[in-house]
Structure 1
């Protein structure tokens, strides 16, 4: 073990752990993470999702679990909540919804360790980590504390978002986390009235960046108002419109991830 680095520990009862990362806020990472987890569950993969964004947790809203609190098991470990067949844990379950988490580094690290190692997960094939934006303390704590099967990088086609995504890729490479590929999110918008295609954030920016970095392009999720509406309503697209093209795009993403890391 390298001096100063913690020894990586397994998460009890969890098979493989995949991080969904962007290193930038506002690119739809949490919406992708929760729809990816829901798609996995519907493909027969026993799945959980862990919201590791201490300061701005989104999973309670996305899974319609706001205001709910987890119970404790006999060993005083947190019992995850359940929504739409997926087990979920978030700091948002432990603090009041509108209260800011005004913590410094040591408190954040303590909370992160609790979420990683003091949750009583049932036996899971897959745990999805919804990573916070940035490349700081939380990201380092996670990547140096547990073994990750890989990371999915989410970005819009916009150059500004891609710059941060590349920083995130570089960090993950430095700490030895396999990059499963990049997902182009919020790409082409198709007008529901005239059918015209609008490339609001640019065209094929992620595809071109994948070629430059020799990273696999995992998929392309279009910009569609239904995805946003479903997220705000706490019933994500994979659940609310399972047969629609948006849900099928998330299913295709999950199949690509499962194939890459060999989930049954």
Structure 2
């Protein structure tokens, strides 16, 4: 803590220590040069001639001698006792063992992370291969499957050719459907779509036998010998009507 203080703050702090505390600091091998000089000055001022602490004996010299040279340390220090040496050796070995364990744990964690990354990369590569191998219907075909239900490739081609009835076909188709109604004059026609197999889906609302409109229904029509004929009336959607017709053989 003293090493991080300014000289004035450190000196003030050191002045509050006992001689024994100052001697322990003076004999500390990790003591900084400036701190050692200040402690030495205080020890000389207090008349302390020798410090015995931390297994060392140091003479309080008349002049400040830095603790940085090997020769001065060797001259001032007394031999460490066998018990202290054994304790220091055990501590050194303990620190080394902990460092080895931490390094082994780090290497193990890195190897585990690398292995997991390889597994993820292999799984992704397999998914990519499967996606490439599986045929993907285009967006238009997907929409058709949702609207019309399961369709074969040929049926999808037929639906793509569905078109609105032209100005010539429309009156002929509506006349054919009117022939199947209870009240032909009441018929109100909506969309009419023609399929490539000469069939048509016709949206129509007409009065029933009770004189009321029954609601829009889907009429089926087809050509026979070039003439449009009614094929029945069903309560289905336009998409269902088209799907039913494209499945006709």
TM range (shorter): under 0.3
TM-score, normalized by length of structure 1?
0.19
If asked which structure has higher relative contact order (CA below 8 Å, sep 6+), I would say 1
TM-score, normalized by length of structure 2?
0.20
